[in-house]
Each structure stands twice: as C-alpha cells, then as structure tokens.
Structure 1
Amino acid sequence: MPGNPLSEEIYLQRTRKRKGDVRGHYFRDQTAIIHCRPFRRLKHKTQVFFAPDNDHVCTRMEHVMHVATIAATLCKGLNREGWNLDTELAYAIGLGHDLGHPPFGHSGEEAINEKLVRKGSFCHEMHSYRVAEHLAYGGDGLNLTYAVKDGIICHNGEHFERSLVPAVQPNRLEEITARDCLPTSYEGCIVRFSDKIAYLGRDIEDAVIARLIAKKDIPPEIARGLGSSNSEIIEFCVNDVIERSKGGDAIRFSDPAFELLLQLKRFNYERIYYHPKMRRTAEFCRRILHSLFDHLMALHARCGRDFGKYPESGIPLDQAFGRRREEMDPFYSRTGADAETAVTDFVAGMTDNYALEAMKQITLPPPLTFKA
C-alpha cells in the first residue's frame, strides 16, 4: 500500500523543539488544540444556522468533532484493508481544521473578506493555520507538528474532488495564500473528504429542524442512493470511500457516489444556504461585522500603541481590544503587522454571542444611574 511521500522527520517537525512524552506526537497535538481558547470558542460559533434556539442544532465545535471522528473511522477502515494510516494524525487535523473560522459561519468569512478586498482576501483555512501557528497564546502558537498544520491549511471544505493523492513536495505553509494547495499526507486528504461528508448530511437534518425544508423535499435519487438522514449519509460515504480506495494509491469516491454528493451539494445550496431566510440573516451578520471592523479600525487609528488610551471610552469592547493588542504587540512588531491585520485577527476570533454583545456596546448608550 502507498505511504506518505515525505519523511517522518518532516511530518514531525515543530516550530520549537520539545521533548516527547507518553502521549506521542499527534495525540499531544490533539490535546494542545482541545485546551486552547480558540477551540473553546467554537462552541459559540455558527456552523450554518445562526444563534439557534435549539440545543441540538450543529455548532462549529460539533462540526469539527464530526470531521475528526469520520476521518479517524476512514483511517481505521482503510488500515483493515492494508493501508498504514495514522488515526491520531487524522483526528488532530480534524479537530484543528476550523480553529480560525470567524463568527456567523461563511457569512462572517465573506464579510471579513469584503473588508480586506484591497489588501488580499480572508480564507478560514489560512486563518486556522495562523491561529494554530501564531495567534494562540499571545503569538507563541500551539507548536503543532508540520503534518497537522499542513492538513489544517490544506483542508479546503468547499472544493469537491472525486479522488486525492498527497502533494509530493513539502508545502511552504507561511507562503500559502490560496485554497489550491493539496495536503502532503493521506491523512490530510482524508480530512478533506471527511469535511464534506460531515456537513452535507448534518445541514439537511438541521434545515428540517429549522423548517426550511421537509424530509420529503430531498430528491428521491439522493434519498435512495445516499440516504435521507445524517447517519445514513455518513455510513454510505465512509463505506464507499473505503471500498473504492482499498488496493489503490488514492483516497477516492466511486463515480456514482461522487455524482450523488454533487447533487446533494447543489440541493443544499439551492434549498438551504441560499434560502431567503438564510440570505436575510447573512445580511444582518455582514452589517454587524462590518460595523465592528470599522469601529475597531477607527479605535486603532486613535490609540495605536498607546495602550493606556484604549480604556478611556468606557466601552468594554475597546478595553478588550486594547488588552489583546498589547498582548500581541511583540508578535505584530516582529512581523510588521498593520492595523487591518490586528483588527482582522480580533474580529475573526469573536464568537457569535460576543459579536452581538459588542454591537450593542457600540450602538446603544450605557444606562444612566440615578440616585434613589
């Protein structure tokens, strides 16, 4: 069976050397991700449905757990067929792949991207790498292995491929600026597949709960071929990938399964993601993030590196941004980061709840206190 194209030495490289421990390399990376604050905040970030009032609708944290477990399952299944995949590596990539996703799901990503149009673009894949490598712990990052960081930045959940093999040359992770890079490990390829498997079926279930669609709306050929529930779709896709990939040198779907997935993707976009209610919500989210971005840019223009000035407004958001700006100042100074970068990092790190509260703070006056 094929092996990963790079040496173990490259896959295990870290930015800073550290002694190994009983956890092993990739399980250590899993725990580093789980314990960091950016991971904790995923529980209050949108997957697809903004601020659901139902505890059973998927959040960003639940999504990454789905991706990690599906990826690990694929590795286990293929290992039974003679492959030699590292389940712990795949699980670590799955856990970390959305660490840098902004609030409000892809609507939030689009909103930040619009603010950076003159400078470049905002992609959550690249920002997830940035969070893992730099932004966590005040500029020190999580010190993950190359293999995990490579899988995170190359996970590209929007582009669908029928088959994947790893890139044969190491990716220069700091230089990646577009979504066209391929991971250098089979485990990274598996996470790319797992991301699609995880969200297509789950989004249908949540859309039914939200009454955007009914189960009967699912096209019959999809319901017959893939299934009509999240568990059925996951089971079908996992078994299909294992069956089609065993004995080969690529991670792949069968032609019929891939065509059904594309049909399901089209259905989800037409009936869920572009639903009028979803588009209206997206516009509200866009306005919120644009307003917060503009407010913080103006604040940075007034205060800059004079960190004592940030609390003067009395607005908690301004105080929090000032503290974070001061904490990150050594890293920003070392890397020549500008105001847009500092504001982007802060806004992208917000949860949905924090963004809503911050919006109240900059638009509503504080209540007056009257003496009795």
Structure 2
Amino acid sequence: MQKNPFEDAYYKQRPKEKSYDVRGEYFRDQTAIIHSMPFRRLKHKTQVFFAPNNDHVCTRIEHVMHVASIAATICKGLNKANPDMWDLDAELAYAIGLSHDLGHAPFGHAGESALSEMLPVGTVFMHELNGLRVVDKLANEGRGLNLTYAVRDGVICHNGESFEQEIFPDTDERDLNSIVDRSHNPLTYEGCIVRFADKVAYLGRDIEDAVIAGFIKDSDVPKKLRSELGHSNGQIINRLVKDVIQTSCESGSIKFSDERHELILSLKNFNYNVIYNHKEIIRYKKFGVNIIRGC
C-alpha cells in the first residue's frame, strides 16, 4: 500500500483548531474555498486569453474546476484499479485543485513577470507562494481560510511550471512558510496528482480555446499529436488520465508512461511556440503589464 509519509492527523491540522463538523475535513475545506472572495475573483482572471468576450473560452475559475475534477478522477481511478496499492482521498485532491491557483496574479504569467520587476533584485513573484499567503493571511478580511495542512501544502507545492514524468511526495516535515522556491514536492500523493492534473487540464484546453479565438486551426496541430493524444480536449484528458492510472498502478508512483510523457512535452512545446507566443497574446500581455506598472 502506497501511503502518505505522515499520519492523517498531521495533514488535517489547521492554523486554528476547529470544532467537529459533519462534512469531514477536506470537504469542509472545499466549501471554505468556493465561498471565498479570492475564489470568486478567479472568474475574471486570465488563463491564457485576456478578457475573452466568448463564454466558451476558459478563465482561471474554469481551469481550477477542471483540475479539481481531473485530480479527483485520477484518485478514484487508482483506488478502483488497484485497491491493494492505493487508498487516495479524492476530496483532498479536489480541495487542492480548487485552491491551487488562488495566488495567481492578474493577466496570468504576464502579471507575474510585471510584479517580479517590482520586487528586489533576485526575487521573483511566484503564484504558488502567493497562494499560501492568500489562504493564510489575505482571504476572509485578513483572517485567512484556516485550511488543513494538506491543502495548504498542495497549494504552495503545486508548481505549475514543472513537467516531470514521475513524482513522489517529499518526506521532510516542514513549516510551509519556510518554502521560498519551487524545488519542493507536495507531502501527499493527492498533491502530486494535482500537479499532473494541472497540465492535463490546460494543455488540450488551451488549443481548443486558441481555435475558438481564431488564433490557430485544428490542422495546425501536428498530426502525430492529434492521432495519438486526441482531436479534442476531452479526448486528450481521457487518454492522459487513463495513462496516469495505468502507469501509476505499475510503478507505485504518480507517473506518465514514456510514450505519453514524450507527447506531453511535444504538446507543451507546440503551445508555447504557437499559442503563448502568438503575436496577439504578446500584444495583450503588454497591455496587462502596463496596467500593473501603472498601479
């Protein structure tokens, strides 16, 4: 049985003790997150495309819902596929998914870059670190959301920039406020799953949105990627989720197969070269940067 490094009580501790609640610890976290002001603000925060006037183009709030759903699905799939190896908490994964991007700046990664320019030399703005600041200190009029350690750990360690093939939880007991970079893995398998779900959620969806927005055509996507990963966002999600479940049951880690991981890296490179660096996206990014600089 693959177990998280620490006992459940360690992961369920909160900054401030709460009385018993019928919902359970992680479902309780979910409700705290979705009723919070930082979560509501995600509906107007950029995923890739700035201020879309098409309701079918993804914003940040839709992205986190996708991540939460995919992460919970992977947990349930692993539990069912190999109950002797896995006993994952889908509610924990869902809560981490909902909250993982609460610290994102306005205008997506362009906003992160603009904020980094305002910080001391050698310091960069990281939305993961800001996410912990949001849930601990800024939300709820400065009182924080008082989330469990496991969810807070998943937020600060979700590392949206990593594309590793395989991941295990870290095993070091740590103060989350001491984390200052992206070098740490989550302390739970559920947090590791959210890291994978993040990529599964946005790689295909960003292509779908780029087509809807008229930036690219379906035929621009390399034939190998379309034939092996899928022609739609739904197909891409389905094939990658199944791959993670099958491969992780064989490895005892959270892992993509060699073949799928290679395709993921190819898809990432396509998205960066053709979508994220599209001349219109770059133009929009400049608008966002100028707004932040002018604040």
- Does residue 227 (structure 1) correspond to residue 230 (structure 2)? The answer is yes
Deviates more, 1:222-231 or 1:119-128: 119-128
Which of 154, 173, 184 in structure 2 is aligned with 1:170? 173
Q: Structure 2: give runs of 5+ residues left out of the alignment.
A: none
Deviates more, 1:172-181 or 1:112-121: 112-121
Amino acid at match of 1:97: H
- Does residue 97 (structure 1) correspond to residue 63 (structure 2)? The answer is no
Cα deviations by residue, 1:28-59 (Å, 9 ceiling, x for unpaired): 00000001100011001111000111011000
Distance 1:248 1:84 in 2: 15
SS of the counterpart of 1:161?
A: coil
Cα deviations by residue, 1:228-256 (Å, 9 ceiling, x for unpaired): 21001000000000000114320000000
Amino acid at match of 2:278: H
Amino acid at match of 1:75: C
Amino acid at match of 1:263: S
**8 A Cα contact 1:150 1:171, kept in partner:** no
SS of the counterpart of 1:141?
A: coil
- Does residue 59 (structure 1) correspond to residue 59 (structure 2)? The answer is yes
Q: CA deviation at 1:224?
A: 1.0
Q: CA deviation at 1:91?
A: 0.1
**8 A Cα contact 1:93 1:152, kept in partner:** yes
Q: CA deviation at 1:7?
A: 1.5
Q: Which residue of 2 aligns with 1:187?
A: 190
1:117–1:268 CA distance, 2 compared to 1 (3 A):
farther
- Give the share of equivalent positions with the same residue, in percent: 58
Q: Which residue of 1 aligns with 2:8?
A: 8
Amino acid at match of 1:85: L
Distance 1:54 1:171 in 2: 44
Q: State how 1:173-252 maps to structure 2 within 5 Å.
A: 173-252=176-255
Which of 153, 156, 159 in structure 2 is aligned with 1:153? 156
SS of the counterpart of 1:258?
A: helix
Q: State how 1:98-113 maps to structure 2 within 5 Å.
A: 98-113=101-116
- Does residue 33 (structure 1) correspond to residue 33 (structure 2)? The answer is yes
Divergent runs of 4+, >3 A: none
Distance 1:239 1:64 in 2: 20
Q: CA deviation at 1:212?
A: 1.0
What's the Cα RMSD here?
Answer: 0.9
Which of 137, 144, 153 in structure 2 is aligned with 1:134? 137
Which of 274, 278, 297 in structure 1 is aligned with 2:281? 278
Distance 2:191 2:174 in 1: 12
SS of the counterpart of 1:18?
A: coil
Amino acid at match of 2:37: R
Q: State how 1:38-49 maps to structure 2 within 5 Å.
A: 38-49=38-49
Amino acid at match of 1:23: R
Distance 1:173 1:105 in 2: 24
Distance 2:111 2:174 in 1: 27
Q: CA deviation at 1:119?
A: 7.0
Q: How many residues align?
A: 292
Amino acid at match of 2:230: G
Distance 1:282 1:45 in 2: 13
Distance 2:120 2:220 in 1: 38
Amino acid at match of 2:239: F
SS of the counterpart of 2:251?
A: coil
Distance 2:161 2:130 in 1: 15
Distance 1:179 1:217 in 2: 33
Q: Which residue of 2 aligns with 1:86?
A: 89
Amino acid at match of 1:160: F
Distance 1:243 1:53 in 2: 39
Amino acid at match of 1:196: K
**8 A Cα contact 1:165 1:249, kept in partner:** no
Q: TM-score, normalised by structure 1?
A: 0.77
Q: State how 1:266-345 maps to structure 2 within 5 Å.
A: 266-292=269-295
Which of 140, 143, 155 in structure 1 is aligned with 2:146? 143
1:155–1:86 CA distance, 2 compared to 1 (3 A):
same
Distance 1:139 1:245 in 2: 40
SS of the counterpart of 1:139?
A: coil
Q: CA deviation at 1:211?
A: 1.1
Amino acid at match of 1:32: A
Q: Structure 1: give runs of 5+ residues left out of the alignment.
A: 293-372
Distance 1:276 1:248 in 2: 42
Q: Which has the larger radius of gyration?
A: 1
Distance 1:2 1:211 in 2: 45
Q: CA deviation at 1:284?
A: 1.2
Q: Which residue of 2 aligns with 1:73?
A: 73
Bigger helix fraction: 1
